[in-house]
Structure 1
Amino acid sequence: MGCNPTQDGSIVESGWQELFNGEDLEGWTVKITGHEVSENHAETFRVEDGLLTVSYDGYDNFDGQFGHLFYDKPFSAYLLRVEYRFVDEQAPGGQEWAYRNSGVMLHGQSPESMGLNQDFPVSIEGQLLGGDGENERPTSNLCTPGTHVEVDGQLFTPHCLNSHSKTYHGDQWVTAEFLVLGDSLIEHRLENRVVLSYTKPQIGGGNVANHNAELFEEGQPLTEGYISLQSESHPVQFRRVSLYDLERYMDDQEGLKAKLEELL
Structure 2
Amino acid sequence: MKFNKLIAAIAIASLCACSANSQVAKNGVKTPKPIQLFNGKDIKDWTPKIKLHEVGENYANTFRVEDGLLKVRYDGYSDFNQQYGHLAYKKPYSYYLLKVEYRFVGDQTKGGEGWAWRNSGAMLHGQDPKTMLKDQDFPISIEGQLLGGDGKNERTNSNLCTPGTNVVIKDKLFTPHCLSSTSKTYHGDQWVTAEFLVLGDSVIQHILDNQVVLSYNKPQIGGSNVINYDPAQKTDGKLLSEGFIYLQSESHPIDFRKVELYDLSPYKADQTKLKQVVDALLKK
Normalising by structure 2, we get a TM-score of: 0.88
SS at 2:86 equivalent = strand
The amino acid across from 1:125 in the alignment is: E
2-structure distance, mates of 1:139, 1:262: 24
Q: Distance in 1 between matches of 2:179 and 2:57?
A: 32
**Equivalent residue number for residue 69 of structure 1:** 87
Q: 1:170 aligns with which of 188, 199, 217?
A: 188
Aligned to 1:227: 245
For this pair of structures, how many residues does the alignment match? 252
Equivalent position SS for 2:189: coil
Deviation at 1:75, TM superposition (A): 0.2
**1:35 partnered with 2:53:** yes
Distance 1:215 1:225 in 2: 13
Q: More helix per residue: 1 or 2? A: 2
Q: C-alpha distance in 2, partners of 1:229/1:181?
A: 19
Say whether residues 1:139 and 2:157 are aligned partners: yes
Work out whether residues 120 and 248 of structure 2, in 8 Å CA contact, stay in contact via their aligned partners in 1.
yes
Name the CA distance, whole Å, in 2 between partners of 1:57 and 1:86.
16
Quote the residue 1:22 is aligned against: 40
Report the 3-state secondary structure (helix = DSSP H, G, I; strand = E; otherwise coil) of the residue aligned with 1:37.
coil
2:130 matched to which residue of 1?
Answer: 112
Greater Cα shift, 120-129 or 213-222: 213-222
**In structure 2, what residue type is equivalent to 1:222?**
L
SS at match of 1:258: helix
Aligned letter for 1:132? D
In 1: Cα distance, 2:133 partner to 2:88 partner: 15
CA distance in 2, matches of 1:254, 1:206: 37
Paired residue type of 2:233: L
CA-to-partner distance for each residue in 1:108-155, whole Å, 9 max, x for gaps?
Answer: 001110011000000000000000111100110000000000111111
Q: Does 1:152 align with 2:170?
A: yes
How far apart are the structure 2 equivalents of 1:126 and 1:213? 24
Which amino acid in the other structure matches residue 116 of structure 1?
Answer: K
- Whichever residue aligns with residue 219 of structure 1, its letter is G
Instruction: Name the structure 1 match of 2:258.
Output: 240
Measure, in 1, the Cα distance between the counterparts of 2:235 and 2:57.
Answer: 29
Shift of 1:14: 4.8
Assess if the C-alpha contact under 8 Å between 2:100 and 2:193 holds in 1: yes
Higher strand share: 1
Amino acid paired to 2:111: G
Report SS of the residue matched to 2:60: helix
Identity %: 64
Residues 1:126 and 2:137 aligned together: no
Letter of the aligned partner of 1:61 in structure 2?
D
Give the letter for the 1:82 counterpart: V
Aligned to 2:67: 49
Q: Partners of 1:165 and 1:213 in 2: how far apart?
A: 35
Distance 2:232 2:173 in 1: 23
Quote how far apart the aligned CAs of 1:257 are: 1.1
Aligned-partner SS, 1:237: strand
The aligned residue for residue 118 of structure 2 is 100
Q: CA deviation at 1:215?
A: 2.0
TM-score, length basis structure 1? 0.94
CA distance in 2, matches of 1:14, 1:168: 30
Letter in 1 for 2:184: K
- Give the whole-Å Cα distance in 2 for the aligned partners of 1:186 and 1:262: 18
For the 8 Å contact 2:32–2:263, the answer to whether it is kept is no
3-state secondary structure, aligned to 1:248: helix
* Inter-partner Cα distance in structure 2 for 1:213 and 1:194: 34
> Take 2:172 and 2:125, find their aligned partners in 1: how far apart are those partners?
20
Q: Give unpaired runs (5+ residues) of structure 2.
A: 1-30
The aligned counterpart of 1:184 is 202
